[in-house]
Amino acid sequence: MNEKMYLIAFFLLALAIVIKLIGRSPKFIGKVGENKVARILNSLPREYKVVNNVIIPNQRGTSQIDHIVLSPYGIFVIETKNYSGWIFGNEQSEKWKQTFKTTQGNYFYNPIKQNWGHIYSLSAFFQLDKWIFKSIIVFSNAAKLKIDTETPVINMSRLKRQILSYRQQIMSTDDVALIYDKIIKTNLVGAENEKRHINAVRNKVAEQQTALRNGKCPKCGNDLVLRDGKYGQFYGCANYPRCKFTQKID
């Protein structure tokens, strides 16, 4: 094998490694999931209007929403989690857990609370009643959902059926068109805005982690108190029940 062929072989090997690493990155996996959900939503009847990847201003900066579906039957706000494995969580817990047979598992922020933050931002910015919004959390079909929630938390295969199950008309088609137009005009999506949003989220996470290390509630700043619960000990905010923050002990 001559030098040129060695270089080609090395380049192809390096390219394969890069592609494999990119395919494993959380950002890439998330985008794949969002694209799958977008294809499902695009198959809805014409009376449903879909907006994917929405960034709107809020009091703390911006809020990024995976998917919004507008219809006479409500505004569906959809948070996508392209996770596999076993998923454990409930409506009120601060963190949910993803586990596999061969690993201890990973914790991630409760997507129901995350999506309610999105709904609050939409409701405040567009001056709409919160009851108009329908929160849906969507996981990949590879996820085994072991959750206890009132909010729909479903696999992708059930998404279209879940949306179509709402049949009580609460808005006119004119209202739907008007809100859709406002969202399109307000959407701040773009590389620079997405970068700013990601940096703001990272800063917020860093602030929360610092508060936890100092024994403070990341929501309201009060002390965290060790408590006994149904599933063992946990840290809860001293300002309970006004603040319901909890931190599970690993």
Specify the DSSP class assigned to residue 223: B
Rounded Cα–Cα distance for residues 178 and 183 (Å): 9
Q: Is residue 227 within 8 Å of 236, Cβ to Cβ?
A: yes
pLDDT at residue 207 tops 90: no
Rounded Cα–Cα distance for residues 61 and 88 (Å): 30
Greater confidence (200 vs 239) lies with: 239
Amino acid at 246: T
Rounded Cα–Cα distance for residues 50 and 212 (Å): 38
Q: Is residue 217 within 8 Å of 245, Cβ to Cβ?
A: yes
Q: What are the phi and psi torsion angles at 96 (to 5°)? A: -110, 165
81-130 residue pLDDT tens: 999 999 999 998 889 999 988 777 789 999 999 999 999 999 998 999 99
Specify the DSSP class assigned to residue 151: S
> What residues does 97 pair with on adjacent strands?
88, 107
Q: Is residue 221 within 8 Å of 211, Cβ to Cβ?
A: yes
H or E element, residue 224 = strand 224-229
Q: Is residue 222 within 8 Å of 229, Cβ to Cβ?
A: no
Domain residue ranges of the chain, discontinuous segments joined by +: 22-213, 216-250
Q: Is residue 138 within 8 Å of 37, Cβ to Cβ?
A: yes
Environment class of residue 136 by beta-carbon count within 10 Å: exposed (0-12), middle (13-18) or buried (19+)?
Answer: buried
Rounded Cα–Cα distance for residues 90 and 85 (Å): 17
pTM: 0.69
37-81 residue pLDDT tens: 999 999 999 999 999 999 888 777 788 899 999 999 999 999 999
153-205 residue pLDDT tens: 999 999 999 999 999 999 999 999 999 999 999 887 644 555 554 555 555 65
The two three-digit tokens of residue 75, written as one number: 């505004």
